[in-house]
Structure 1
Amino acid sequence: MASLTPAEKYNIISRNLQEVLGKEQIETILAERDLNIYWGTAPTGKPHLGYFVAMTKIADFLEAGCHITILIADIHAFLDNMKAPMELVSKRAEYYTQLIKATLSSIGVPIDKLKFVLGSSYQLTAEYSLANMKMCSKTTERDAKKAGAEVVKQVESPLLSGLMYPGMQALDEEFLGVDAQFGGVDQRKIFVMAEKMLPMLGYKKRSHLMNTMVPGLAGPKMSSSDPDSKIDLLEGPEDVKRKLSKAFCEEGNITENGILSFVKTVLFPVRSMNGKSPSFSILRPEKFGGDVIYTVFEDLEKDFQDKKVHPGDLKKAVTDAINELLAPIRKWFDNDELRTLTEDAYPSPKPEVKAKPVKSNKPAPSANLPVDISRVDIRVARIIEAKVHDANPNSFISTVDCGDGDVRTVVSGLAKYIPLEEMQNRLVCAVCNLKPGKFQGVLSSAMLLAGSSPDDSVIELLQPPAGLEAGDLIEFEGYGQADRTSPEKLNPKHLIFEKVAEDFKISTEGIAMYKDLKFNTKAGHVTLKSLKEGRIR
């Protein structure tokens, strides 16, 4: 390290980054000493392949002689993921620490040179709490929402926890004693806020290093909250193959191609570490062009654009490369202790235990309950995958995530009205406490709510607002929620749902209504894409 000049160190630190804020400040420090950098991650969903981009940069920082702190931001995870209690977050913090160490080790990064810090180890101290109060006293609600717009879930009526998140991330720079913070470009607004706010509190301004975001397989970026957009670091070989085979990869299209972008942002940088010459191989029969080895990404990109590389061949090559990359991480976790930790951090959904019926002459408790919306469990759900029913081309069979690991099969007669591609990876409103029943030969365990025009010529699925997740509630002012811990199963013989649904309608503004009440969520109202007036069924 001593043989590197300050300019050479800066070039290593900044290579492959999308943006650097505070270049001059970094250069001044490097002229005197090595740089102190921190990278933080909140232990929420399972880490995915996009983490390799950060890992390769951590390797660069070490090569440049930097001192690296890795923050496992457990308090931030709790603030941004209120569905998970702190006990669960603490297990996920352990899981993240092990997985990050495994990932770094798999690409030859010496983890003994890294400092791992748990956010709660200092964020719960009196000194930090006072600094946080000072930060809050100088931060407006508008500035807090703006800073967290790309990172914290945005809703119409945000919780204070989400508003505190950006300011706390800024304070971490001071309390970790670093010169710079490293993160994705999606955190830019938080970094800009930190540069503005820390000097106002009497602290020094830090620099910020930003990576490009790794595109998802089915969206703009890999996201822990979207299972179809990412591949987890412990994903099995067959799951990797399945997800890659479904990923969008249009022949000749290099602008909207998550797979090609992954080769650029992850595979080439990983394979060029430790002074190696990067290479990426496409293996195929001679009649399709034979094997070809690429040492420069731009050559692969041009051949794909010119249709000299078929999407199927690219997918197969990336599948093999990813499985090779993940093999040592899977091996690290292949022991009873870490298997137990994984289950504790991300518990498998427990099977529903049905109580044995008790014979009694007394009327069932539900017989005395009012027939209104409080009896119906309506949730935001996400269609993971939908396909046309083999025996009925007018129906879909959908795999639907109803939240907290509750994944169900749902049959719906919508194929006449809604294109199959519009049924993939989308949020819907689902009735989740109907008694499961066979529909067209398939056991269906929920109902997807759709609106229809007065003449039934147009049918559309209800649209929850953006920013929600599977399992979020649909609420109705003045009515309590259906019990979701031990929910009442609505027997079709009693027609409870059917009677309640008689009061469902679509307003002239295209809002889903129950009587005169809007279908409401913490992110706003449920709407219809184009329907103004009509019914909901």
Structure 2
Amino acid sequence: MANSQVLLSATEKYELISRNLQEVLGEHKIKSILKQRDLKIYWGTATTGKPHVAYFVPMSKIADFLRTGASVTILFADLHAYLDNMKAPWELLSLRVTYYEHCIKAMLKSIGVPLEKLHFEKGTNYQLSKQYTLDVYKLSSIITEHDAKKAGAEVVKQVDHPLVSGLLYPGLQALDEEYLKVDAQFGGIDQRKIFTFAEKYLPQLGYEKRAHLMNPMVPGLTGGKMSSSEDESKIDLLDSPSAVRQKLKKAFCEPGNIENNGILSFAKHVIFPLLKTDENFIITRKEANGGDVSFESYEKLENAFASQKLHPGDLKTSMEVYINKLLDPIRKTFEDPCLKELSEKAYPPKKKDAEEIKPHCLDIRVGKIVDVEKHPNAENLYVSKVDIGEESLRTIVSGLVHFYSVDELQNRMVVVLCNLKPIKMKSIESAGMILCASKDEPRQVEILIPPENAVPGEKLIFESHENGEPEPVLNTKKKVWEKLQADFRVNGDCIAQWKNYNLVTKAGDVVQCKSLIYSFVR
């Protein structure tokens, strides 16, 4: 899908370098260099989690850089990976660097990028040298804790009492620009504070200020950032075609909504830049739905989706074809037994807890509030009598006073967690929880809505977790509910999910909230 390389003017080179970027710092510097010679650029990646399909976003830009004749260095930041809260132990870092190099080479070959002017560098090849170490000490003598913490705010995990290693991280990245002898550093917009940090402090060491090229952050399949740690938000480079299909099927893609739409963003930042000059993006549709349609630009695709002339299902089906075209050569490369072994050693399977907590242990049922009144001893609490299909009504105390009136709750169908250990709340024992979607700042709460025609007492389950029986009472010492609750959320379609598995009736009807997308269930 790549364009063939042609001779370009300095202006054309800059246009290709800067297209689809969110921001460029040092535009004048880059244009001035391009009038004399080709650019030298570096992109760094910490070798922690497995590279996933979102890595095609920087790869497509690196393809643009290479097509202008630029020399590109890809830095495998193994030392950075270790310093970032020690996400990867030293014994795995060397293996992961090798794995990353094979993945990235396979990705670039997949999109038809020549590798002659591409160079790979490992951070510890020079970051442990005497001169580099002395520069780190020099930086530490002029940088304040405030500036170091601020610079890493979007990249390094923030805690009340940060480790010194996390404070060093931005300084090391700034020094990389000098030691790699580049004109510009490329990264995501989340790196901006580190880039401006480098622009401020490198000249204080007598080093040149570099330019900075920033990609926008592309949302993952669930609408948030595509992350290595969230399996359902990403498509792995080695995912099978069936896994790609399943993940795209669950992806957030609300009709007409172009915000936080990972599928559209991937089309914009990866697929369209890789199309040949005379090649269009093809949506395959049944004749009954209007037949195939092609788009010569991303803007026309986005407009068709925003005006709902293009259905999410058709977009997902077509995107599946394009993604699999990108992944097929990578899958083939990793059929090599040596690379399979490398993958297993670099990312050994995690040891599962002896008693892994699964959501089938939750007893969640449809309930109906038969009676509700204010708590006699607490102004902020309601006391409800709830029918959950048992002989007697359950008493449930809830903090819904500021969000619903008594009349709004009376005879309302709700979703109830029934096997919490009963607890006294202001002298009245509560034997369950009315589940709600909830957001903070400002505080917003919406009661979960059972499917239509659901009846009190009807069991609710999570898709793919039908096997197993609920615990009679959840173990409070093991914090079962608290652990499961961390992944119990509402997605972009207002559907309640645990780790992207829908909460449903046995008939498959989903539980929803009214409008609080991307909220927690509490």
- Asked whether the two chains share a fold, i.e. TM above 0.5, the reply is yes
Displacement after TM superposition at 1:252 (Å): 1.7
Equivalent of 2:238 in 218, 234, 237 = 234
1:451·1:459 contact (CA, 8 Å) conserved in 2?
A: no
- What does residue 393 of structure 1 align with? 365
- What does residue 45 of structure 1 align with? 49
Equivalent of 1:31 in 35, 38, 41 = 35
- What does residue 71 of structure 2 align with? 67
Is 1:127 paired with 2:131? yes
1:369-399 CA-partner distances (Å, limit 9, x unpaired)? xxxxxxxx9xxx9x9xx6898x96369xxxx
Which amino acid in the other structure matches residue 299 of structure 1? K
Counterparts in 2 of 1:448 and 1:248: CA distance versus 1, 3 Å:
farther
1:66-102 CA-partner distances (Å, limit 9, x unpaired)? 1111101100111114142111122111111110000
CA distance in 1, matches of 2:224, 2:42: 26
1:452·1:459 contact (CA, 8 Å) conserved in 2?
A: no
Which amino acid in the other structure matches residue 161 of structure 2? S
Displacement after TM superposition at 1:350 (Å): 4.2
Which amino acid in the other structure matches residue 84 of structure 2? D
Is 1:224 paired with 2:228? yes
- What does residue 306 of structure 2 align with? 305
Which amino acid in the other structure matches residue 285 of structure 2? R
1:243-267 CA-partner distances (Å, limit 9, x unpaired)? 1111111112122422122211221
Unaligned runs of 5+ in 1: 355-376, 396-415, 419-446, 466-491, 505-537
Counterparts in 2 of 1:253 and 1:3: CA distance versus 1, 3 Å:
closer
- What does residue 137 of structure 1 align with? 141
Q: Percent same amino acid among aligned pairs? A: 55
1:284·1:313 contact (CA, 8 Å) conserved in 2?
A: yes
1:189-218 CA-partner distances (Å, limit 9, x unpaired)? 100000000001111111111112211111
CA distance in 1, matches of 2:125, 2:107: 24
Which amino acid in the other structure matches residue 39 of structure 2? L
Q: Indicate the SS of the match to 2:187.
A: strand
- What does residue 253 of structure 1 align with? 257
Equivalent of 2:83 in 69, 79, 87 = 79
Which amino acid in the other structure matches residue 20 of structure 2? N
Which amino acid in the other structure matches residue 293 of structure 2? V
CA distance in 2, matches of 1:288, 1:388: 43
TM-score (norm 1): 0.67
RMSD of aligned residue pairs (Cα, Å): 3.6
Is 1:244 paired with 2:229? no
- What does residue 450 of structure 2 align with? none
1:249-287 CA-partner distances (Å, limit 9, x unpaired)? 111212242212221122111224xxx334222222211
2:24·2:213 contact (CA, 8 Å) conserved in 1?
A: yes
Displacement after TM superposition at 1:353 (Å): 8.5
Q: Indicate the SS of the match to 2:233.
A: coil
Displacement after TM superposition at 1:448 (Å): 9.7
Task: Count residues with an aligned counterpart.
Answer: 396
Equivalent of 1:210 in 214, 218, 236 = 214
Is 1:286 paired with 2:287? yes
Is 1:172 paired with 2:176? yes
- What does residue 11 of structure 2 align with? 7
CA distance in 1, matches of 2:23, 2:116: 28
CA distance in 1, matches of 2:187, 2:265: 19
CA distance in 2, matches of 1:453, 1:230: 42
Unaligned runs of 5+ in 2: 368-395, 399-418, 441-470, 483-522
- What does residue 470 of structure 1 align with? none
1:218·1:229 contact (CA, 8 Å) conserved in 2?
A: yes
Counterparts in 2 of 1:318 and 1:387: CA distance versus 1, 3 Å:
farther
Which amino acid in the other structure matches residue 305 of structure 2? F
CA distance in 2, matches of 1:323, 1:31: 39
2:73·2:119 contact (CA, 8 Å) conserved in 1?
A: yes
1:333-360 CA-partner distances (Å, limit 9, x unpaired)? 1111000110011101346789xxxxxx
CA distance in 2, matches of 1:87, 1:235: 26
Displacement after TM superposition at 1:499 (Å): 8.1
Displacement after TM superposition at 1:306 (Å): 2.2
1:234·1:329 contact (CA, 8 Å) conserved in 2?
A: yes
CA distance in 1, matches of 2:24, 2:203: 19
Counterparts in 2 of 1:266 and 1:451: CA distance versus 1, 3 Å:
farther
Displacement after TM superposition at 1:4 (Å): 3.3
CA distance in 2, matches of 1:232, 1:82: 23
Residues 102-501 of structure 1 aligned to structure 2 (within 5 Å): 102-272=106-276, 276-350=277-351, 393=365, 453-454=425-426, 455=428, 456=430, 458=433
Displacement after TM superposition at 1:5 (Å): 3.0
2:47·2:76 contact (CA, 8 Å) conserved in 1?
A: yes
1:38·1:181 contact (CA, 8 Å) conserved in 2?
A: yes
CA distance in 2, matches of 1:66, 1:449: 64
CA distance in 2, matches of 1:132, 1:260: 42
Counterparts in 2 of 1:499 and 1:82: CA distance versus 1, 3 Å:
closer
Which amino acid in the other structure matches residue 223 of structure 1? S
Displacement after TM superposition at 1:228 (Å): 2.0
Q: Indicate the SS of the match to 1:111.
A: coil
Which amino acid in the other structure matches residue 100 of structure 2? Y
- What does residue 98 of structure 1 align with? 102
Displacement after TM superposition at 1:11 (Å): 2.1
Equivalent of 1:88 in 87, 92, 101 = 92
2:70·2:117 contact (CA, 8 Å) conserved in 1?
A: no
Is 1:56 paired with 2:60? yes
